Structure 1
Amino acid sequence: MAEAAALSRPAGVVGRRTWANGLFVLPFFLTFLALMVLPLGVGMWLSFQDYDMLGGYGGSVGFENFTRLWEDKIFLRSVLNTVYFVCLSTPAFVALGLFLAISLNDTYRRSAVLRSIFFGSSVLSVTIVTLIWRLVYMPERGLLAVSAGAVGLSSPSFMTTESLAMPGIAIVTVWWIIGLPMMLFLAALQQIPREVYEAAALDNASRWTTLTRITLPSIRRTIVLVAVIEVILQFQIFGQVHLITNGGPNNATRPIVMFIYEAGFRDWSLGYAAAASQVLFVLMLAASFFQIWIGRSKQED
């Protein structure tokens, strides 16, 4: 009856109701255009321009900004640093977040307290986090140096050694926001029916078999989601590097976002900074698609 009534209505009435429903989406759509699409388009346009905040607009330069980036050793080093940091931090977020979620996936009060503790660091600002870890990494007088000296060991210099600086930043970042992937994995684990685990227990399945045959396949989409989220977030690393090492030592921790910040707001070269931003956008897009492709191929297998 309802379908017949809908078919009997004039086309104009149905069309007006459709447009009326679209008005509820209009505020979000306009905000999305203003804050996402428009800045993206302006950034792409700027990347092909010679635009200096002090000298003004110098005209279109084509791919000259991208050619300069290809020849800029500092930018190439920042790309390698960023990719290296993503390769360090993303697997740690996935593995450690999954481990914590599995370990704390019960109803005991102890687990609830530990979940709050691990998630609590995520609400801290980057300033507080870096202040804490500067006190930990401080040479000779830091917590790490004092603890290592108490047992007769030498403390690694994460802030002054090139090979250890980026792993040190990765440790800070994982400690800071491990709570988000942990909570995502917890939400996924709690959606798995308990009857499946009870059936596995009746079949005398080992913990490893339960993990690999039940748990991991059941939360495969969440694993891919966490990996994609962390890749996107960690490609944008800036605050902790800026406050702990300021890109040093010898540009060993300088990421792409810091290069963009310095090119745009220290050297005032907006066109050059916009070109570097487009390179970062392409890298993030490629890495995200790669993660999704791997997840889909494993799911098909």
Structure 2
Amino acid sequence: MSIATAPEGADRRAPAPAPPPANPLRRTRGNNLAGWAFSAPFLVFFLAFLIGPLVYGFYMSFTGKSLTGANDELLGLANYTEAFGDPDMWHSLGNTLYFTVISTVPLVIIALALAALVNMGLPAQWLWRLSFFSPYLLASTVVSLFFSWMYNPQLGLINDILSKVGIAPVAWLNDPNIAMWAIVIATVWWTVGFNFLLYLAAMQNIPQQHYEAAALDGAGGWRQFFSITLPQLGPTTVLIVILQILASLKIFDQVYQMTAGGPAGTTRTIVQYIFESGFTGYRLGYSAAISYVFFALIVLVSIGQFFITRRRSV
């Protein structure tokens, strides 16, 4: 039995050794450095314009700092003690919570109704979507000026319509019992389009097979809506409610531009009171203390949001 040998002239050199594998630790380190390099511009602005002012504002809340430059020494908890005993702060906070409650409910219900209406398959859906969402794109100044003219007791369109049906003119922005509701109406018209889009997107993601199966079982439109659509919209509703509460707690623009907190402080919100304490009363330290009291309230709402969403996901 013969043994096969390599032909004459064949290359008998040993194969070249494979290159050593790249060091994964070095590659990871290089990727981390590149990531930090790309993130550096954002981090610089984040530290300079968010974290820095946040820390300095917290320090300032323990001082008597003023726009006049006087009395900048440390006061300890004096500003917080004064804030908790300040009836104007509690009144402003109560106005804010009142606005949050009476605005969140219609902003959820009306958005749901508009989304259900468009989702029914109306013709020219792009026009309905544009009509419902376009007010959200307007600036707060435009909306405030528009509704200020609409609410004008002598020249406003709303009172003109009411007079034609025999109803006396209403002082929409000058009546303490009505002014906040007038601001809520303007806010709902302005911002409901965002919630409408969220609901519409969620409705269009519901599998059509659910409705087909329900129809085969004899379920009508209302039954399908309450048994299929609403349960499927549960996570979206929770998201919208939480976002709306957080947005309503921070209301400032339309109130300041339409009523400036009047009449008699019935529409003055906590953000406006913070602004007035710091830039009208020149008490920056006290204004910072109220800001952090309000910040604590926002944190509590956010913690509640976390537990609610986690419970629903379990």
Establish whether TM, by shorter chain, passes 0.5: yes
Question: 1:48 maps to which residue?
Answer: 62
Q: Which residue of 1 aligns with 2:183?
A: 169
Larger mean CA deviation between 253-262 and 111-120 belongs to: 111-120
Q: Distance in 2 between matches of 1:199 and 1:27?
A: 54
Unaligned ranges ≥5, structure 1: none
Within 5 Å, give how 1:126-205 maps onto structure 2. 126-205=140-219
Amino acid at match of 2:290: A
1:2-21 deviations in whole A, cap 9, x for unaligned? xxx99863523332233323
Could you list the runs of 4 or more consecutive aligned residues of structure 1 that deviate by over 6 angstroms after TM superposition?
5-8
- The equivalent of 2:35 in structure 1 is 21
In structure 1, what is the Cα distance between the partners aligned to 2:221 and 2:52?
51
Name the amino acid aligned to 2:131: I
CA distance in 2, matches of 1:268, 1:185: 44
Separation in structure 1 between the aligned mates of residue 234 and residue 189 of structure 2, nearest angstrom? 24
Please tell me whether residue 89 in structure 1 is matched to residue 103 in structure 2.
Answer: yes
Which amino acid in structure 2 is aligned with residue 52 of structure 1?
S
What letter is aligned with 1:250? A
Deviations 1:207-227 (A, max 9, x none): 343223322232222212212
Partner of 1:125: 139
Structure 1 residues 148-175: Cα deviation after superposition (integer angstroms, max 9, x where no partner) = 1111112432211112111111111111
State the distance in 2 between where 1:6 and 1:105 align. 60
Deviation at 1:256, TM superposition (A): 0.8
Return the TM-score normalized by structure 1: 0.89
What is the aligned partner in structure 1 of residue 254 from structure 2?
240
Distance 1:6 1:236 in 2: 59
Q: Does structure 2 retain, via aligned residues, the 8 Å contact 1:127–1:243?
A: yes
Q: CA RMSD in A?
A: 2.3
Secondary structure at the aligned position of 1:241 is classed as helix
- 1:63 to 2:77 alignment: yes
SS at match of 1:60: coil
Distance of aligned partners of 1:142 and 1:70 in 2 relative to their CA distance in 1, 3 Å threshold = same
- Where 2:150 maps in the other structure, the secondary structure is helix
- What percentage of aligned pairs have identical amino acids? 35
Which amino acid counterpart does residue 272 of structure 1 have in structure 2? Y
1:279 pairs with 2:279: no
Residue 87 (structure 1) shift: 0.6
Name the SS of the counterpart of 2:196 in structure 1: helix
Output the CA distance in 1 between the equivalents of 2:59 and 2:65. Answer: 10
